[in-house]
Amino acid sequence: MSPSVRDLQLTPRAGVRETSSAVDSGDLEDVRLLDSYDKTDCSFGSEDVIKRIQVRVSGMTCAACSNSVEAALKAIDGVLSASVALLQNKADVAFNSSLVKDEDIKNAIEDAGFEADILPETSTVGPKLQQTLVGQFTIGGMTCAACVNSVESILRNLTGVKSAVVALATSLGKVEYDPTIISKDDIINSIEDAGFEASFVQSSEQDKIILGIVGLYSLIDAQVLEAMLSSMKGVKQFHFDQISCELEVLFDPEVLNSRSLVDGIEGGSYGKFKLHVRSPYARMVSKDVEEITTMFRLFTSSLLLSIPLFLIGVVCPHIPLIYSLLLWRCGPFLMDDWLKWALTSIIQFGIGKRFYIAAGRALKNGSTNMDVLVALGTTASYVYSVCALLYGALTGFWSPTYFETSAMLITFVLLGKYLECLAKGKTSDAIKKLVELAPATALLVVKDKGGKPIEEREIDSLLIQPGDTLKVLPGTKIPADGTVTWGSSYVNESMVTGEAVPVSKEVNASVIGGTINLHGVLHIQATKVGADTVLSQIISLVETAQMSKAPIQKFADYVASIFVPTVVSLALLTLLGWYVAGALGAYPDKWLPKNGNHFVFALMFAISVVVIACPCALGLATPTAVMVATGVGAKNGVLIKGGDALEKAQMVKHLIFDKTGTLTQGKATVTTAKVFTGMERGEFLTLVASAEVSSEHPLGKAIVEYARHFHFFDESSAATGTKDAAKEIKAGWLYDVSDFSALPGRGVQCLLHGKPILVGNRKLMEESGIDIPTQVENFVVELEESAKTGVLVAYGDELIGVLGVADPLKREASVVIEGLQKMGVRPVMVTGDNLRTARAVAKEVGIEDVRAEVMPAGKAEVVRSFQKDGSIVAMVGDGINDSPALAAADVGMAIGAGTDIAIEAADYVLMRNNLEDVITAIDLSRKTFFRIRLNYVFAMVYNVVAIPAAAGVLYPSLGIKLPPWVAGACMALSSVSVVCSSLLLRRYRRPRLTTILEIVVE
């Protein structure tokens, strides 16, 4: 018989150089990204020497950080390419060594606010070592915090694993590992050996793609596919999974990109094979659905078999004909006993075998979990019932059996698991909805060599490449982050920013992938794709936050680690106590069940104790609340990076605001220009604008814009803010300057017509020996007292004029400050501006504590000064200059992040440029931790009350006894009640702030 396609294993491409570890393990992750890259391929001329280095970058926390580093590197003249891998903390840079030195690369990264270390060069011949990978795995079967602790402990003890974090609520694990020491399959096997289910989701590899393939039906088709892949340049290794019909391909991105790979396969098969990229997030969602379906199937099966047991024990005794059949003796037992034994055995060892498998493996690994308690309780009931039957057959003394107890216990536990899966599925709706925002396809505009569109074709949105021109029709989703190159429209960005008002988009405007084009047709040029898009960054932030653990969860983890042994000990004490008490005659025999004895009576209490105890509720109290909160926050434009941030934010005492761009609009405008010499105003403005045109500071741009308007220039020349626009302005009316330099915290200086020109503050003038006349000083003071910044201009050795620059406050600033004060948070303003201007701005918004003339690095010192007494301090900023303070603060909040989700060190990313989100962030964190504390009260009170009740403490006085099946029902609903409590956070609404400005936050 010829082999079928299910027997086929595709092999690595012949001739591909592999590392020794790749040969040994056969794992795709062991093949390095640039193994087939040849440095000489990049040579552009005999005089140019192209060099490639790798730099370890420390301090990156999100995709925005990697974007910042990449942009800083690409801005260096002589850098040919730069690629930054966030999860690997590494930058790969190719550059012309005759123009750029290694230190220039390192300095550029450090200037962007990160730490950089140039890695030693590895030999281009032979195998190259690979960086550690960060892999994501789904983990099924976890029921409580004890399970999480067990899995984490096992993973962290594996050789080659650097770190591991496991989240109960998401059933996900994130593992950092060295692929040269351990493979993803080894990790999966270790998790499964511990008694759990595991599967691989994705890793930090940048050179691998997983494709779903349709059209491969036979061995011949598979051989055709193998031949195409083997002959395709850039393909390193591939593997086809016959069961899932997934093709996994490792390729060299310097030679081949993902779209070329797909086009090559589809074109080479003449359309027979159809491929689509498998999104890891979509695969995770499908696994959630599969888990819910499986648990529902198990529950319904157990229920259908338990109903006859209930009918036999309760209903049938009242139906004479049926009851007489049940009392018919068949062999040593009654038909009633045979049916109960058979039905219960199917439930116990068929449907309930998952509890035995999980409990056995947990005990094998030296841990205990909820499955151990379930297995103990049901087994005790089942074994006793079997022993009672056999004892009756041998002696004729028939004791009562409790087969239905065992069956009902398993049924109720499965019901609880099913309800828990449903509730946990609700908590992860945020990621699911974000995934659904991404469009499945895009219209690619194909152009000829001259740049003229020649055709349009539909492609998978996951195959979009940077630089692609995409057509976006009205009513469709924008497929990737990019820039409008043609057309105009309004775009609904509410799903990303939370802003309900549509945003106008014209040529050169930036757009966000996943947002909806409302009216006109747009052509956009893709700038960020894949993991670099805003939507992917949001998903990553939400996912990371949901996997993080708040410090308060350590309490639950500790309790869970000792919970099961404690419960088993209490059950044994209950059994012993009731049995000894009965033997001593401490309670009447009428309490005993019919034909029962003291041991049976005590055993039922012990089983109830084992069954009713529930560590699940404790384990779910924090993560489910954090999951819901992060989802709610994302819906409202507030991205939370972790449970630690949530816990600290609810305790904030001091909130430090940066002034420019945070409290103010960040759109400075020149309101006054006064010349103190005989120079004409137009000439004065031309001199100042010539000096400031090369400045990136908002004040400099405002001065250039004011001067341009004064000279009646067309707005379009500078509206784009591009380098070409700046050159156009300079060629038209500005003077050429030399030796330009920006002086942080002071201003700018350069040479013009051989004379120095200085534009800046008093400090710059004083350092340069420029006298400030009394009339000029009085004019500047007057500006500062009216909340304006005075910019002094000196030409040669003479101060020639002053510009007054105003940065309007955000309209909601004062009401937010008032709201924070009512919440018990003390607002503080920090700025590099002068004290008079700072005080005037602070007075306008209602802030009493002002720290002025603070250099960017000094903002962190201000933060630390408030932390000295142990207070929790939050920092709100909007730029890279604020990143040291954001990192130093207990809670960093990046406001107005917009399309690049900036701020590297922030714990909260506030998508909208609106200060009201600061109120939302703190209020949401407070409500979340109120819910967490309430969850712990539910969980603790439940166990404190339920366990004594199950042990029979209330039976002597009140006659209250919990049969084991009732205890099972209570246990099943306990964790569900905690999860439902967390789900109430989904009803969260932003605080409504209504003031004299009539601002209403919806």
Tokens describing residue 30: 């062991």
Give the angle 555-556-559 at the CA atoms, nearest 5°.
90
Tokens describing residue 946: 């339920």
Is there a catalytic annotation at residue 658? Answer: yes
Q: Which residues, at least 6 apart from 879, have a Cβ–Cβ distance to it below 8 Å?
A: 658, 661, 902, 903
Rounded CA gap, 179 and 274, in Å? Answer: 31
Q: Among all chains, which residue has been given the structure tokens 């600290």?
A: 648
User: b/e string for 158-172 if b means 16 or more Cβ within 10 A?
Assistant: bebbeebbbbbbbbb
Amino acid at 83: S
Beta bridge partners of 84: 91
Beta bridge partners of 51: 95
Counted residue by residue, the chain has a size of: 1002
Helix (H) or strand (E) holding 867, with range, is helix 858-867
Rounded CA gap, 195 and 213, in Å? Answer: 32
CA distances (Å), 560 to each of 147, 618, 619, 653, 950, in order?
9, 8, 7, 33, 20
Ordered DSSP codes for 358-414: HHHHHHHTT---HHHHHHHHHHHHHHHHHHHHHHHHHHS------HHHHHHHHHHHH
Helix (H) or strand (E) holding 517, with range, is strand 516-517
Cβ 187 vs Cβ 173: under 8 Å: no
Beta bridge partners of 200: 137
Cβ 145 vs Cβ 557: under 8 Å: yes
Tokens describing residue 679: 């120079």
Checking phi first, is residue 564 left (phi over 0); if not, alpha (psi -120 to 50) or beta? Answer: alpha
Of the residues 27, 288, 481, 658, only one is catalytic, namely 658
Rounded CA gap, 672 and 786, in Å? Answer: 12
Task: From 669, 913, 931, select the one nearest 812 (Cα to Cα).
Answer: 913
Cβ 228 vs Cβ 264: under 8 Å: yes
Rounded CA gap, 30 and 279, in Å? Answer: 22
Q: Which residues, at least 6 apart from 659, have a Cβ–Cβ distance to it below 8 Å?
A: 829, 830, 831, 833, 838, 841
Q: Among all chains, which residue has been given the structure tokens 């940066």?
A: 658
* Strand arrangement of the beta sheet that strand 789-795 belongs to: 669-675, 798-806, 789-795, 755-760, 747-752, 738-743
Task: Report strand pairing: 908-910 vs 891-895.
Answer: parallel
> Which residues are designated catalytic?
658
